[in-house]
Amino acid sequence: MLPDNFASLTSEQKIDARLADWISTEGKPFASPEVAELYRSRAQRYADAFRLRQPDRVPTSVVTGDFQQHVMGVTLADYFYDYPKAVGAAIGFYERFPLVDYFPFSNFQPGPVFDLLGYTLYRWPGGQLAANQGYQYVEGEYMTADEYDELIRNPEGWLLRTYWPRVMPALSGLAGFPSLLGSLELPFVPFAFSAIGSPQVTAALETLLEASRLTGQFNANMGQLIGTAMFGRGMPVTLGGFSKAPFDFLGDTLRGTRSVMMDLFRRPQKVLAAVEAITPLAVKMAVDAAVGSGVPFAFLPLHKGADGFMSDADFAKFYWPSLEATLRGIVAEGVIPMMFVEGGYNSRLAHMAEANLPAGTTGWMFDQTDMANAKKFVGSWAAIGGNVPGSLFQTGTPETMRAYVRTLMETCKPGGGFFMAPGVVLDHAREENFQAWLEAGLEYGTY
């Protein structure tokens, strides 16, 4: 329950109020008082780290991607199409690795929904890919250069009527969705609803309903899994919503990588206007989901601002300002944005530090960034973690893993504000290396 004066609180007070709700075990159906206490202590530990306090020990968190499937002997396609099998495998994974404290997100996805929509942006296992081929984005230009103006002027209108039909062809009828001004006067309404009643729009709406029904089937299973993890085993869920940097929304799956990079030279003003227009949508998507789920953390994977992907000047001009605005917007609603900083950010840390984001309101899961520098430039104002390489999980040994964790803890643990995590979404690992990582996190993580 949020306090009555929530709206008038500061950002940090809002975050603390939402965290208190998240940590609280009151009125939640835990299997036993012991499980409830396990949940509470784990959630408190995580919140402490993110609020830059020193918990009892460093929390360890992992996004397991495809790893659960591989280690439990099911296929990636099973996690897209056989929900009961996926739920069973996931629960088996928690039993096999009891040191995993927090609900480990994985590539458990509603394959039938993507099939129904004819989702062209990606290929996935059990769909166009073989059973154990991981899902992948299909690079392309999904927004043409001359569509910038409409995106800038009317982003959700363009997305609804042009982009959604483009990437989900089963919804092509949305192109005919009428102007939303059509509800503003009584005589306008029949015109608007005649458009809605057209065969094409009707077909799109019926497909949306069916997609909703299929998603509900998936959610029932996901809900069962989360319920087992949280109330049966005391595992807090640490991600409530998703978003991205506005430049990544524009560059990843609207313009596509090649085109957005050339846009930096050919139409820089359009790029700037586009990321500005996307910013409030990026904020809303993160906040709505986080607030709705009761988990006040939003996950933002960062892509195209990494070292080497653009110059420092381009980062400062095109990538950072709208990302900063997005983070401030999310924080203002009392939600903590957790950035997965893919690639390296060694050249970006100093610039980030100059932004003076409010202390203890953001989290940064690094990958190839030097962690001593991350501690130095970011650690005083934000929670940091990550960095343990995917190559170490997959090609290293338990000994080299333990050594890596020990050094990382020594560098980053002091003073708190640190969480232990892989530097990648973990798709592949030798089981003994994963277990060694968990154990080393426990051994070297106490304060």
Partner 1 sequence: MTQALVDAIAEMEDEEAIRLANEMIENGTSPLEILEACKGGMAIVGDRFEKGEYFVPELILAGEMLKQISEIVKPHLAAGGDTPKLGKVLLGTVTGDIHDIGKDIVHFMLEVNGFEVHDLGVDVPIGSFVDAVKADQPDVVALSGFLTLSYDAMRDTVAALSAAGVRDGIKIMIGGGTVDDQVRVFAGADAFGLNAMDAVNLAKSWTKAGVA
Other C-beta atoms closer than 10 Å to the C-beta of 116 total 19
Nearer to partner 1, 194 or 391 (CB): 391
Nearer to partner 1, 27 or 308 (CB): 308
Distance of CA 211 to the CA centre of its chain: 22
Least distance from partner 1 to the Cβ atom of residue 265, Å:
6
Question: Which residue is associated with the tokens 């897209």?
Answer: 80
Binding-site ranges for partner 1 (CB under 8 A): 66, 123, 133-134, 136, 138-139, 257-258, 261-262, 264-266, 308-311, 314, 343, 389-392, 394-396, 424, 427-428
Least distance from partner 1 to the Cβ atom of residue 243, Å:
22
Least distance from partner 1 to the Cβ atom of residue 390, Å:
5
Beta-carbon contacts of 12 under 8 Å, excluding residues fewer than 6 positions away, are: 358, 360, 361
Give the strand pairing for 241-242 and 136-137: unpaired
Least distance from partner 1 to the Cβ atom of residue 343, Å:
7
CA-atom Rg of the chain in angstroms: 22
Nearer to partner 1, 285 or 302 (CB): 302
Least distance from partner 1 to the Cβ atom of residue 406, Å:
18
Least distance from partner 1 to the Cβ atom of residue 245, Å:
16
Nearer to partner 1, 153 or 266 (CB): 266
Give the strand pairing for 418-419 and 383-386: parallel
Least distance from partner 1 to the Cβ atom of residue 393, Å:
8
Least distance from partner 1 to the Cβ atom of residue 340, Å:
14
Least distance from partner 1 to the Cβ atom of residue 129, Å:
8
Nearer to partner 1, 73 or 265 (CB): 265
Assigned token pair, 310 = 């653009």
Nearer to partner 1, 139 or 206 (CB): 139
Residue 424's identity, in one-letter code, is V
Residue 240's identity, in one-letter code, is G
Give the strand pairing for 136-137 and 122-123: antiparallel
Question: Which residue is associated with the tokens 């995993």?
Answer: 100
Nearer to partner 1, 237 or 264 (CB): 264
Least distance from partner 1 to the Cβ atom of residue 217, Å:
28
Nearer to partner 1, 43 or 392 (CB): 392
From first CA to last CA, the distance across the chain in angstroms is 32
SS3 of 1, please? Answer: coil
Nearer to partner 1, 85 or 123 (CB): 123
Beta-carbon contacts of 386 under 8 Å, excluding residues fewer than 6 positions away, are: 340, 341, 364, 365, 366, 367, 421, 422, 423
Task: In whole angstroms, give the CA distance from residue 412 to residue 376.
Answer: 9
Q: Where are the alpha helices (DSSP H) in 294-370?
A: 312-314, 320-332, 349-353
Element (H, E) at 340: strand 336-341
Q: Is 12 exposed, middle or buried (0-12, 13-18, 19+ CB in 10 A)?
A: middle
Helices 320-332, 11-23: axis angle to 10 degrees equals 60
Nearer to partner 1, 280 or 389 (CB): 389
Q: For residue 435, which of 134, 136, 96 has the smallest C-alpha distance?
A: 96
Cα dist from 149 to 73, 271, 283, 320, 321, whole Å: 49, 10, 21, 22, 20
